[in-house]
Structure 1
Amino acid sequence: MSKAAMPKSGVSLAPEAVRTWNSVEVDPITLRVIGGALDSMAKEMAQVLYRMAYSSLIRESEDLGAGIFDVSGRELCESDSTPMHCGSIPAYIKGVNRRLAGTYKPGDVILHNHPYHGAAHSPDYGIVIPIFWNDEHIGFAGCTGHVSDIGGNFPGLCMDVVDVWAEGKLMDSMKIYDGGVRNDMLIQHILDNVRTPEQNRGDLEALISCARIGERRFLELLEGYGLDTVMSASETWMSYSETMLRNRIKELPNGSYEAPVGYLDDDGKNRGVPLKVSVRVDIEDDEVLIDLTGSNEQVPTAFNVPFEGSVLPVAVSAIRTILLDEETTQEYVPQNDGCFRPVRAYAPEGTIFNPDFPASCFARFSQVNRVFDSINLALAPILPDHAIAGSSSALCAIAYSGVAEDGESYWVYIEINEGSYGGRNGRDGMDAVDALMANTRNNPIEELELNHAMRAERYELRDESPAPGRWRGGIGSVRRWLMMTDTFLGSEADNRSDAPAGALGGADGRSGSFVRNPGTDREEVLYSKVTQEVVHAGDTLEIRMPSGGGFGNPFERDPFAVLHDVWDEYLTAEEAERDYGVVVDTERWVVDDEATERLRNGAKMS
């Protein structure tokens, strides 16, 4: 079942169009109204999903995606949520179409999570509902969300597993509603094979409701304007987004741009063996190829990446984010299939970014974040006003779990810890924020302590100073938990043993760490990737997330900004002088302008 060899020219996520409507002219006002309606319905879908969901990862972190798609899976609109979730849904639909095309009926609801047929990874349940208009199949409403548990060897998260079946129960294009008839026995079978049946049931119903509200809103739009007008307007918006992105790509010089080779800590089993991440960005006229040739061979654990469901979306998201940054782009450019068309990706078969079936690819998010980070760094020399220095780019997902009080199920809490961004031209890096492809929120301490036997002893910015630069790097978070009961621990993090890189003269950031019982005689440094470690009642666990790199020469930083950092205790006066050439008068707490000028001029002459 190995995939066919992929062409060296790369693979695009943009599917081929299948037209079920007649093209008509749409006036500018109607075009704007329909575009706004599409944007609103995707956002409403996401609101329904995260407000209804049971698991904290969807409900609090908003680890989800939703949108409307045509019959071939082309994205008409997407929610403002996790780019990985939204960007992977076209691949979900492609995987579903390969098995069910031609069999759809009104009232169908399809559940899918197979990572070798489009899913981002198996814990991301995807719900797809075919949309019918005048008895004709014209599109899909789709959504995804990360559920707490899918069965398999270990609760919540798994690392050291033998293959894709060991991850948990795989649902490959399963109709849980067939023509409106609910398959209760199938749904019960799915829930009987997970450790968190109540949470999964609630999440599944939330996903179905999300897709149904999308179906309803799209049909209401068709009732108001007709199929031909709505789809013609959608086609215009997709072409517009494509043109905007292609125009930005054409402004860049043709050529190949390589990021510094990066290394992931390990694969979660073979300790002390780092994994190579090699990223090259090829620009030719109005197209971009992200080439991952040279990256590590696939590994025997879950630390591999589904190509269609994860690698392709990160390539598109990175290029779109860098070149069409909403902060710097005056024109409104919607995220839709048009943004997928100019971007291709290539990864050799048998590598961590294109594994051969049936290798497990459960834990894939730290790797794709490193790809995004590397694309940034590769383009920094030709895009100094848009690229950022190295970010944390290491999703720290940790699953805490134990047997519930009823003795018949588990409690599972999956936490995503916050890293930071690198600095960028004109801006310091953002502190304590989930970076790049994740875009998830933190979980409130109060909610966690209310529902789980864990107590937060510390949750704040790291003590260490940020990476120096004309614009400093962001500061990662540090969180310390006191465990009130014996708890299973699973982690798919990456500490960034090679710290986030500085850009254009900025200093490198700081690596993360994972420590049990810090500051005691029982202190133990844990690996970033853990498979079912037992943390006993009374133990503490401290997670330090990486801090981002600096951007630009630190000696060009505004002295008042340096003073401000000293006031805020981000820096000491000694660090200000050593790293920035800024002398702070600590008696009056002002910059000593003359001493600063002498120090900086001396640095230039040397």
Structure 2
Amino acid sequence: MTNKILTTDIDPVTLGVIAGSFSAIAKEMALVLYRMAYSSIIRESEDLGAGLFDPDGNELCESDSTPMHIGSLPGYIQGVRHFLGDNICDGDIILHNNPYYGASHTPDLAIIIPIFYEEELVGFAANTGHVLDAGGMSPGLMVDVVDVYAEGKHYNAVKLYSKGVKNEDMWRHIFENVRTPKENKGDVEAMIASAKLGKKRYIELLNRYGRKTIQAAEKRWMEYSEEMLRKEIEKIPDGVYKAPTGWLDDDGRNYGERLRIETSVKIEGSDLTVDLTGSSDQVETAYNVPFSGSTLPATYTIVRAILLDEANSDVFIPQNSGIFKPIKVVAPYGSIWNPKHPASCTARINQVQRLADQINLALSDVLPEKTTAGNSAHVHFNSYAGIKEESGDYWVYIEVNEGSYGGRNGKDGLDSVDNLVANTRNNPIEELEMRLPMRCTRYELRDEGAAAGKWRGGIGIIRTWEFLTDTLFTGEGDRHTDPPRGVFGGQDGLTGSMILNPDTEREQNLHAKLTNFKIRKGDILEIRTPCAAGYGDPFERSSEQVLEDILDDYLTIEKAEKVYGVVIREDLSVDLEKTSKIREKVSS
């Protein structure tokens, strides 16, 4: 198989039009996928990624969805090339999900369709989606797992279609060995439709502009993205910038034994290296992180978010593999960031969230206007499962609970939102209650208030579920012990919690990580996600903003005076004279 790269000159207008076409194709692929999908984790949460890739797996464009999905797809394609070599043919549709060969983690299935033009491989249309069940030892999610094989079925570049011919036996085998066959099959069929559309649109571009022009545009856009990131890296003084030591709660089996996170960022000219040396060794549960599929994409995502913030950029900078080239990650082999086979590594989302936040904190002193205070950097990623009495089939629901952003220079932190490398949507309660034997009795912002600062931290959520049947619960949580870090005098945030049957005689504080924990019919589960940290001295926050927080029930009058030095009268107006005296006394 030959992959000739043809080059030609290309004018800026054509280059821009092709770039817009790439972006539109990726977005259209994602729309097809989440609108056709069966499971709520894809259909509603949009836990997916889609895009186009060159023959070497370099990303050309990506959908506006979860960075962990799209950023891992170059690794998936490398995994496919490892298993198939040159045995990739026109008409193939390939399924892959091995976390030691590029996958983000086992339940993130990828569909990869090679694109041939004039009898040569010119690229791939690919996507990923998180399916409800992968056939492992636990329905939905799992933490306390003996090894990677117990996570579920691994599909090592399996051809669902070979040269256009459907492999019926393989389809039957795949979907007869999971707990949610209907949902999984519907999701995979949606992924195939999405990738087929990407292939079709790409060939249309080739027919319109010619292969030389398209490949020239691909090459130039990747070079441009790399150049723009390198320019931003070069603005940072050379040196090593270290984040405070971070701590994960535990590995989900050895409760209370915290796991160390060490993070430093080294700048050398236009090269940026994230060094995770000194972090915890790999653990005996699934609380490890696939290096290619998760550690690398999380790092790429946060570096781009900090240095090439689209909201503050005057020019369009496409997201593609050019962004990856200036960034290197050092993660010792055998650590939680780069585990040795066959260690399990399916429960990795909280660690990569913390990794992103640690990089953010490492750069806070040198880039105070581009970074935030400590974010919630956490996902209470939960699964609920049981048996349908009428059919004997499983029902499975996977839930992503929102976190919050830390305050940043000039802006308060965002409340109740996925942050950092997570980008999923919340599921509508009404839709869930129609389908599941669960009832949501509370879903709102936490009532403890926000972490104080010149710009306050964001507020996490509180959610309570009532269970209408016995349920198996698995939680991939963390941050019950290590609060988000305040910066430049801002307050630390609040840790999360999970409580079963709160305010009753049966109240039970739960660990953040549980596997197949039995919840009984009639039980209530309360989930609180962390509140992010504050940025800057609280006494520098304007009295008008403090009053607004009181009116929004984010802050009490008593706390306003104690923490912010702002005195509020009974008529809810600011006593400027008393406020001035308190603040002057503290600052003197």
TM-score category (smaller protein): over 0.9
Task: Give 2:475's match in structure 1, choosing from 491, 494, 502.
Answer: 491
Unaligned runs of 5+ in 2: none
Structure 2 distance, partners of 1:583, 1:252, is 41
Equivalent position of 1:600 in the other structure: 583
Q: CA deviation at 1:435?
A: 1.3
Equivalent position of 1:235 in the other structure: 219
Q: Deviations over 1:128-154 (max 9, x none)?
A: 100000111111011000000011111
Q: Is 1:415 the counterpart of 2:399 in the alignment?
A: yes
Structure 2 distance, partners of 1:146, 1:356, is 23
Alignment of 1:28-107 (within 5 A): 28-107=12-91
Equivalent position of 2:442 in the other structure: 458
Q: Is 1:248 the counterpart of 2:229 in the alignment?
A: no
Q: CA deviation at 1:330?
A: 1.2
Asked if structure 1 preserves the Cα contact closer than 8 Å seen for 2:147 and 2:343, the reply is yes
Asked if structure 1 preserves the Cα contact closer than 8 Å seen for 2:3 and 2:121, the reply is no
Amino acid at match of 1:511: T
Matched residue of 2:71: which SS?
Answer: helix
Q: Deviations over 1:242-267 (max 9, x none)?
A: 11000000000111111111111110
What percent identity do the matched residue pairs reach?
53
Amino acid at match of 1:594: E
Structure 2 distance, partners of 1:435, 1:321, is 11
Equivalent position of 2:319 in the other structure: 335
Structure 2 distance, partners of 1:123, 1:497, is 28
Q: Deviations over 1:523-580 (max 9, x none)?
A: 0001000110111110000000000000011111111000100111110111111111
Matched residue of 1:33: which SS?
Answer: helix
Matched residue of 2:202: which SS?
Answer: helix
Alignment of 1:507-522 (within 5 A): 507-522=491-506
Matched residue of 1:41: which SS?
Answer: helix
Task: Give 1:176's match in structure 2, choosing from 143, 155, 160.
Answer: 160
Asked if structure 1 preserves the Cα contact closer than 8 Å seen for 2:249 and 2:481, the reply is yes
Q: CA deviation at 1:404?
A: 2.2
Asked if structure 2 preserves the Cα contact closer than 8 Å seen for 1:471 and 1:554, the reply is yes
Q: CA deviation at 1:173?
A: 0.8
Equivalent position of 1:591 in the other structure: 574
Equivalent position of 1:3 in the other structure: none
Structure 2 distance, partners of 1:288, 1:542, is 41
Q: TM-score, normalised by structure 1?
A: 0.96
Structure 2 distance, partners of 1:504, 1:372, is 19
Structure 1 distance, partners of 2:372, 2:404, is 11
Task: Give 1:441's match in structure 2, choosing from 387, 400, 425.
Answer: 425
Deviation >4 Å, runs of 4+: none
| Superposition RMSD in Å | 0.9
Distance 1:167 1:462, change over 3 A: same
Q: Is 1:358 the counterpart of 2:342 in the alignment?
A: yes
Equivalent position of 2:270 in the other structure: 286
Q: Is 1:319 the counterpart of 2:337 in the alignment?
A: no
Equivalent position of 1:5 in the other structure: none
Equivalent position of 1:262 in the other structure: 246
Equivalent position of 1:204 in the other structure: 188
Q: TM-score, normalised by structure 2?
A: 0.99
Structure 1 distance, partners of 2:294, 2:209, is 35
Unaligned runs of 5+ in 1: 1-17
Q: CA deviation at 1:316?
A: 0.7
Equivalent position of 2:388 in the other structure: 404
Matched residue of 1:234: which SS?
Answer: helix
Q: CA deviation at 1:407?
A: 4.0
Q: CA deviation at 1:104?
A: 1.2
Equivalent position of 1:576 in the other structure: 560
Amino acid at match of 1:194: V
> How many pairs are equivalent?
587
Amino acid at match of 1:485: T
Distance 1:496 1:245, change over 3 A: farther
Amino acid at match of 2:120: E
Matched residue of 2:230: which SS?
Answer: helix
Equivalent position of 1:376 in the other structure: 360
Structure 2 distance, partners of 1:586, 1:146, is 52
Q: Deviations over 1:62-93 (max 9, x none)?
A: 00001000010001100010011010000000
Residue range with higher mean Cα deviation, 408-417 or 141-150: 408-417
